[in-house]
Structure 1
Amino acid sequence: MAVQCKPIPALYTVYILRSTLRHASLYIGSTPNPPRRLSQHNGVVRGGAARTARQSLRPWEMVALVSGFPSMTAALKFEWALTNPHISVHIPSTSRITISTGVKANGQPRRPSKSLASILSNLHLLLRVPSFARWPLKLHFFAPDVHAAWQKWCATVTEHLRPGFQVLTDFGGALPTGTGEAPTVSASGGAEEQPSGQEAQARGIHALPLNYEPMKHYVAKGQELFEFERLGDCVVCRAPMPPGKGLYAVCSNPGCDGVGHLSCWSRHFLAGAEADNVLPVQGQCPKCAGTVDWGDMMKELTLRLRGEKEVKKLLNRRRRQKAQKIPKESKEG
């Protein structure tokens, strides 16, 4: 069977739904498009799930989600583990929070009933187990009470998420056009701050990037460097990088054209880390000294190597937008 090679998706999430009519009714799912999926669960468009189809529970709200999964399969693994924490192999038996007390007819452990507290406690556990702790994941909250419940749980545990893990909050939902309000963003363990500017219009799940548009400048830079063979020497080991002779990654910082061997970037980012850490999370570019997220670097790399169709669509859209402005300006001039 042929293996399909695809770039890291622009967005793939595992989400938590809550009935607005019965808060005790909760549902866990995964999707690359949270707004569309919520519409399906609420019966606005076709799709959804049988468990969310009861009119007595609709409408549902998406109160939290985890983003940054490198593939659909990765998201499905996390979703299954969060739905079945009593038997998930990703959770060591000594660390298990949810325990099954019953047995189904086939002899398998019965899935315990879930509550918001149980889901959040198991979510915290999964985000710090070796299977998922170093993935480029982010946690988003869209309901103040759910975020407060998360903070309450975090205050009771001694184990913490990895340094730099981002917890983002946006309690505004979808605001009318022209409000100019931006979402509230907080880093894990840090104070919340309100971004300035009037550019943000959508709120909540509607503000999530569903495509590669936020990466267009990064992708365009990579395309230009490799198309015109402006690679230079590796920014880490200083050795030459012959075009097409290896895996090369590009610094994500604007204005920096640093390129290096993938293995060199990895070794550089992992310098000083614990011996059992084999997956980089973040590091500093040797050329510009700016911070680089490993997840962003890998997304650009997989787009360049496996996403010809996606790159063409992204950059052609950018060229069309520029072309549309030129005739208009010429006419007005």
Structure 2
Amino acid sequence: MTIQTKPIPALYTVYILRSTVRHASLYIGSTPHPPRRLSQHNGVSKGGAVRTSRGSLRPWEMVGLVSGFPSMVAALKFEWALTNPHLSMHIPSSSRLTVSRGTKRNGQPRRPAHSMGSILSNLHLLVRVPSFERWPLKLHFFVPDVLAAWKRWCATTKDALRPSLPVVKDFANDGPPSRATASTSAAAEAGQEDAEQARAPWGIYALPLDYEPIKEYVEKGQAIFEFEREGNCVVCRETIDSGRGLHAVCSNKDCEGVGHLACWSRNLLSASGSGETGILPIHGECPKCHGEVRWGDMMKELTLRVRGGKEVEKLLKTKRRRVTKAKAKAVDT
């Protein structure tokens, strides 16, 4: 059997959905395309979960999500753990916050009802457990009251998040989207115009759905390895054999520092000053340019380079296609 390998996806998320009609109705899901998924939940396009199909609870809104998952499988594992914190083996028994109080007819533990407080407290727990704490995750909040609830929990618990975990907010006009806004946002994905949203995308509509944000980084990596400009490893200083082994590139714009994967890992872990061990760092300093690098960004570029030929070709041809179309239009006129 052939194992199919893919690059780290441009985006994969685990999201929290809330009914704008009944805030107590919540849903947890995962998707690589939040705007499209929201339109499915709201019945604007085909798809969506049965649990969100009741018209009396629509429209739904995505009030927060976690991004940065290295694969679909990784996101699905996190989604299941967040949905079933009373059963997840990713959570040690001594740390479990949610406990089942009953059983189903088949004898299995009954899932406790979700509340925003329980979801956020278990989210806080999951990003700290060994299974997920070193992943390049980012937390996003899109409505003020959910962010406020998150902050209250963070102030209540004595367990702190790692400082390098990004927690960002993106509100529309500093307030939660109204029922009308949620409806038009979902409709926009189905092809209906929403001029205000087009001018200033926010929330899930501002998330990068493709590799465009790292296009220059990908172009740099392609040029370095295509023309064999690897040079010496920025860490061990040994010559890099072109075409042999895995090598990572500094993510900073004007730096072409290249190094062995193991060397980068060892250097970033030791430079953190926290006595970290293992093979998976989070971030650190490039030995060549001394700028900050994030391991997740470097691995996304590396996996695109070695596994994502089609994705890279599509990304780097985008600009050329636009120029060609512009020239053709000029000739016609």
TM above 0.5, yes or no, is yes
Letter in 1 for 2:239: P
1:242 aligns with 2:231: no
Q: In the alignment, what sits opposite 1:285?
A: 286
Residue 72 of structure 2 aligns with which residue?
Answer: 72
Indicate the RMSD between aligned Cα atoms, in angstroms. 2.1
Match of 2:26 in 1: 26
Matches within 5 A, 1:162-201: 162-172=162-172, 177=195, 201=200
Question: How far, CA to CA, are the matches of 2:48 and 2:156 in structure 1?
Answer: 35
Kept in 2, the 8 Å contact 1:18–1:62? The answer is yes
The yes-or-no answer on 1:219 pairing with 2:218 is yes
Distance in 1, Cα, partners of 2:330 & 2:293? 37
Q: What CA deviation, in whole Å up to 9, does each residue of 1:142-177 have, x standing for no partner? A: 011000000010000111111211011011167965
Using the size of structure 2 for normalisation, the TM-score is 0.89
Residue 319 (structure 2) pairs with residue 314 (structure 1): no
1:325–1:264: structure 2 CA closer, same or farther, 3 Å change rule? farther
**CA deviation string 1:196-240 (max 9, x = no partner):** xxxx82111000000001011000000000111111101111100
Which 4+ runs in 1 deviate beyond 4 A? Answer: 173-180, 322-332
What is aligned with 2:50?
50
Instruction: Look up the match of 1:151.
Output: 151
Q: What's the CA shift string for 1:230-288, capped at 9, x where partnerless?
A: 11101111100011111111011001111111111000111034344431100111111
Match of 2:128 in 1: 128
Q: 1:133·1:161 contact (CA, 8 Å) conserved in 2?
A: no
Residue 89 (structure 1) aligned with residue 85 (structure 2):
no
Aligned: 1:3 with 2:6: no
Amino acid at match of 2:85: P
Partners in 1 of 2:62 and 2:133 — Cα distance? 23
* 8 Å contact kept, 1:85–1:96: yes
- 1:115 maps to 115
CA distance in 2, matches of 1:35, 1:265: 36
The letter of the residue matching 2:303 is T
TM (norm. structure 1) is: 0.89
Higher alpha-carbon deviation: 63-72 or 165-174: 165-174
Alpha-carbon deviation of 1:11? 0.2
Match of 2:267 in 1: 268
Compared CA separation, residues 23 and 269, structure 1 to 2 (3 A): same
Partner of 1:187: none
Structure 1 residues 236 and 326: alpha-carbon distance in aligned structure 2, compared to 1, 3 A threshold: farther
Q: If each structure's helix is expressed as a fraction of its own residues, which one has the higher value?
A: 2
- Aligned with 1:299: secondary structure? helix
Q: 1:253: which partner in 2?
A: 252
Matched to 1:287, the amino acid is: K
**Given the alignment of the two structures, is residue 59 of structure 1 paired with residue 78 of structure 2, yes or no?**
no
Aligned length: 313
Contact 1:11–1:33 under 8 Å retained in 2: yes
